[in-house]
Amino acid sequence: LQELQKLQDRLPPFPNDVAFRIIEDQLGVPMAEVFDRVEPEPVAAASIGQVYKGYLRTGESVAIKVQRPECEDIIALDIYILRELSGTLSQMIKLLRRDIDLRSIVEEFGKLIYEEIDYLQEARNAQRFAELYGTSELILVPRIYWRFCKQKLLVMEWIEGERLTSPKLAPDIKTKLV
């Protein structure tokens, strides 16, 4: 639970004007043409993006997930550095009589990371999850608003809930989740 929390929203949010510009660039229209209102403060900010609560012009409340600016550039630099280091480390590992191709591992890791930051892929994964588990009474899967989803923008149904760290959750629930 503690490690998952670090991934959730431990980073400071990036400025709204930057986030809203990315949203409009992704939509190709002013936000006012799609959203009746967007809350001014993000509800979460993490390493890849941040989330706002908004309301479509049709009245539905939605979660608007927008990717951090320069996210791809930062990841590309990190992958480049890892790739460079992997050659040296592979040589050191060979001295220990181990044959591990770290460069291949880094390449595969890079592919997975780029899939992770593609919000269209995330939407497809959510849709697949809904197909597999959406009929369960124990699982609530948010609806994806496909017409507004882009590579750096994900719009889905807003679902009220409690954080896993909330004191409102019964201790036995937290124990089962850990």
The pTM score is 0.76
For every residue of the chain, DSSP letters joined together read -HHHHHHHH-SPPPPHHHHHHHHHHHHTS-GGGTEEEE-SS-SEE-SSEEEEEEEETTS-EEEEEEEPTTHHHHHHHHHHHHHHHHHHHHHHHHHTT----HHHHHHHHHHHHHHHT-HHHHHHHHHHHHHHHTT-TT---PPB-GGG-BTTEEEEE------TT-TTS-HHHHHHH-
Structure confidence by residue, pLDDT tens digits, 48-61: 889 999 999 999 99
Q: Summarize pLDDT for 70-91 with one digit per residue, the tens.
A: 777 777 776 777 777 777 776 6
